[in-house]
């Protein structure tokens, strides 16, 4: 399976401004995400991205995780069922 990103534009009536070139004799699954309103600048688009977390926010989250109780004291190998040689039991 191969993934390609297409950005399609619609006119005021919701019709596609241009039809994309698609490969012949292929089944294509499409998932449509509505992007924020954008301004066109020299054949490229600037998308408003979600705000990135600050270092302080990330560190606060790390502290919250560190404070959680340990619910299972087994090692990862024990949980996954590996023996002392690293093989599944």
Question: Model confidence over 66-79: pLDDT tens digits?
Answer: 998 988 889 888 88
What is the number of structural domains in the chain?
1
8 A C-beta contact, residue 45 and residue 7: yes
Q: Is residue 88 part of a domain?
A: no
Q: Is residue 74 part of a domain?
A: no
**Is residue 79 assigned to a domain?**
no
Answer yes or no: are the C-beta atoms of 10 and 4 closer than 8 Å. no
Residue 4 has pLDDT above 80, yes or no: no
Asked if 89 and 83 count as a contact pair (C-beta separation under 8 A), the reply is yes
Does some domain include residue 24? yes
Percent of the chain with pLDDT over 70: 82
How open is the CA angle 84-73-70, to the nearest 5 degrees? 150
For residue 50, what pLDDT is reported? Answer: 61
**Which residues constitute the domain of residue 41?**
1-68
pLDDT given at position 45 = 47
Tokens 């699954």, residue located:
29
Q: Is this structure's pTM higher than 0.85? A: no
Question: What's the confidence (pLDDT) of residue 46?
Answer: 47
Phi-psi region of 42 (alpha: psi -120 to 50; beta: other; left: phi over 0): left
Q: What is the pLDDT of residues 42-65, one digit of tens each?
A: 444 444 456 678 898 899 999 999
In a domain, 36, yes or no: yes
């Amino acid at each position: 399976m191969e993934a390609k990103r297409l950005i399609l534009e619609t006119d005021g009536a919701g019709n596609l401004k241009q039809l994309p070139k698609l490969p012949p004799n292929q089944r294509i699954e499409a998932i449509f995400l509505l992007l924020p309103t954008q301004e066109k600048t020299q054949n490229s688009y600037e998308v408003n991205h979600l705000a990135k977390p600050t270092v302080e926010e990330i560190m606060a989250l790390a502290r919250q995780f560190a404070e959680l109780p340990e619910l299972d004291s087994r090692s990862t190998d024990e949980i996954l069922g590996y023996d002392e040689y690293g093989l599944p039991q």
